[in-house]
Amino acid sequence: MRHIRVVVIICNFLHLHGMVTPPPCYLPAGQAGLCVPIEECAHLSSLIENLQKPLPQEVSLFIRDSFFCGYTDKTINVCCPPDGLKTPNMHAPRMAPREECGLQNAQPAECTALSKCTPFHKMMINLRKPLPPAVPSLMKSCYLCG
């Protein structure tokens, strides 16, 4: 039992200091990201904090389908762009960008004019202005595809 506790402590230390690479994932526009606890993704946290409540259901679903990549225990994990991590990780995702757009869980998506993507358009309208600097960066890395 003592050996298991030592292993857990070492693993927690390595994870907190960026020595364990979170699993890779893809952002909607095809760039590689890292699947991390939501509180570790500064860009997405900033976006969510800046949305006005109540959140329209299709905006909530759009964010979920764009970023949700699983659970660890009871913690929600999200696909985060490497430059959006609160704690910089020394290891970049080891995946080449994919050629096409897509959502999490291999759901298909297509590159279209912003005005034709109703959930994205509603999300932008719902944001409080002025935008924090992280939000435009997240939009560029996650949704700009053409």
Per residue in 85-104, pLDDT (tens digit) is: 988 766 667 777 887 788 88
**Phi, psi of 115, rounded to the nearest 5 degrees:** -65, -20
Residue 48: per-residue pLDDT: 93
**Phi, psi of 114, rounded to the nearest 5 degrees:** -55, -35
Residue 15: per-residue pLDDT: 47
Average pLDDT over residues 26-50: 92
Instruction: Count the Cβ atoms, other than its own, within 10 Å of residue 66.
Output: 23
With cut-offs at 50, 70 and 90, classify the pLDDT of residue 37: very high
Residue 69: per-residue pLDDT: 93
